[in-house]
Amino acid sequence: MARYICTVCGYEYNEEDGDADNDILEGTLFEDLPAEWTCPMCGVGKEDFEKDFDEEEDDDEE
Ligand SMILES: [Zn+2]
């Protein structure tokens, strides 16, 4: 699971937690968020998020 950071306001989307306020279930991958999903804090779209790369890079088993 990864986290994505809003580059505008710093909100963190954590795939493990989802976004309950917007009916996003726990474990929803960022790429699987609906296109209309926006930052709950500032309202920008997914294109203004970037992946948070620190730690937890041991999770990918491709
Ligand atoms: Zn934001």
How close is the Cα of 49 to the center of ligand 1, in Å? Answer: 8
For the stretch 7-50, pLDDT in tens is 999 999 999 999 999 999 999 999 999 999 999 999 999 999 99
| Residue-level pLDDT at 57 | 55
| Residue-level pLDDT at 54 | 67
pLDDT at 62 over 60: no
- The dihedrals phi and psi of 31, each to the nearest 5 degrees, come to -65, -20
How close is the Cα of 11 to the center of ligand 1, in Å? Answer: 5
How close is the Cα of 45 to the center of ligand 1, in Å? Answer: 8
How close is the Cα of 62 to the center of ligand 1, in Å? Answer: 30
Q: Are 52 and 2 in contact (CB under 8 A)?
A: yes
Three-state SS at 47:
helix
How close is the Cα of 2 to the center of ligand 1, in Å? Answer: 17
Q: pTM, whole model, 2 decimals? A: 0.81
